[in-house]
Amino acid sequence: MEERYYLTLHDIMSEQQMKTDRRSFLEKALGAMGVLTVGTVAYPIVKFLIPPETNSPDNSTIDVVAVEEVPVNSGIIFPIGNKPGILIRTPEGVFRAFTAICTHLGCTVQYRSDLIHIWCACHNGHYDLHGRNIAGPPPRPLQEYEVNIQNGRVYVTVNA
Ligand code: FES
């Protein structure tokens, strides 16, 4: 016995509607993927061409940190634009700030609480608490910046 299936006009319309819906969905999905692809490529290019504002162009004052966040006889590295600075708090509690770029070959210096001075790990360069080069290969002192304390915060002024 042979069975026959007949499609009604309603069935045909529903099938066409489903095809249209699928096509529409695929078109939208492809469009969204295209937008994402273009965005993924374009975003880094735009970010490169329009660099972000830095917190410290030259000749500016930087709000670095709260006073209580830097213990006595310690130091922190902070950004000066896209370069590192070092803020130290001496054993006497005095704040001083310098460029953190070693004058030898440009490594980032750090504060050594055990030595009570600034030290460059790259070639064992040493600077005193005034940024003066005292041992190792660094040929010059670190550039010093002005430090001011206001309302419990440490501000560093960078002059070009
Ligand atoms: S880069 Fe600092 S001692 Fe050489």
Would you state the pLDDT for residue 56? Answer: 46
Q: What is the pLDDT of residues 23-32, one digit of tens each?
A: 887 888 888 8
Cβ–ligand 1 distance for 136 under 6 Å, the answer yes
Q: What is the pLDDT of residues 68-109, one digit of tens each?
A: 999 999 999 999 999 999 999 999 999 999 999 999 999 999
Q: What is the pLDDT of residues 29-60, one digit of tens each?
A: 888 887 777 777 776 666 555 555 554 445 69
Percentage, residues of the chain above pLDDT 90: 61
Among 74, 67, 77, residue whose Cα is nearest residue 89: 74
**d(C-alpha 86, C-alpha 105), whole Å:** 17
Cβ–ligand 1 distance for 110 under 6 Å, the answer no
46: how many CB neighbours lie within 10 A of its CB?
Answer: 9
Domain spanning 60-158: CATH superfamily: Rieske [2Fe-2S] iron-sulphur domain (2.102.10.10)
Would you state the pLDDT for residue 57? Answer: 46
Cβ–ligand 1 distance for 133 under 6 Å, the answer no
Would you state the pLDDT for residue 1? Answer: 55
